[in-house]
Amino acid sequence: MLSSMVNYQARLDRTFAALVDPTRRAILAQLERKDSVSVSELAQPFVIKLPAVMKHLDVLEDARLVTRSKSGRTVTVRLRAQPMREAMAWMRRYERFWSERLDGLAAYAERQEAEARSTGR
């Protein structure tokens, strides 16, 4: 249980760390539009050179955000959904937490308001 939580945390760290870079996010956005893309196609819109793109792909692959497969001389890149889903789920837990707290706050403040009015404040 503990180790699975630690692994989960480590995966989240990797996902968010990979997402921090604007070039990597641009790569992911490109992959989002197409099902799979060759590395050379992927590198086209960027001013940076192919080896730099490859390095970014290494990071994305370590974070399991993409997979690469080689067929002949072409390397194809695909987006993987799972780490992104985990990152989203993590954010949603916070959202639910705050949503419940704010429900409590609203109920309490409205009781206070009613009380203030009944005592003429």
Interface with another protein by CB under 8 A: which residues?
2, 5-6, 9, 12-13, 16-17, 19-20, 22, 25-26, 28-29, 32, 81, 84-85, 87-89, 91-95, 97-110, 112-113, 116
Q: What φ, ψ does residue 50 adopt, rounded to 5°?
A: -50, -45
Q: Which is nearer to another protein, 74 or 98 (CB)?
A: 98
d(CA 51, CA 58): 10
- Among 14, 15, 19, 68, smallest CA distance to 42 is for 68
Q: Which is nearer to another protein, 62 or 113 (CB)?
A: 113
Shortest Å, Cβ 83 to another protein: 10
Shortest Å, Cβ 72 to another protein: 30
d(CA 83, CA 17): 12
Q: Which is nearer to another protein, 71 or 95 (CB)?
A: 95
Shortest Å, Cβ 117 to another protein: 10
Shortest Å, Cβ 11 to another protein: 12
Within the chain, where are the H helices? 2-19, 22-33, 39-43, 50-62, 82-118
Q: Which is nearer to another protein, 9 or 74 (CB)?
A: 9
Q: 100-103: list long-range contacts, CB under 8 Å, 24+ apart.
A: none
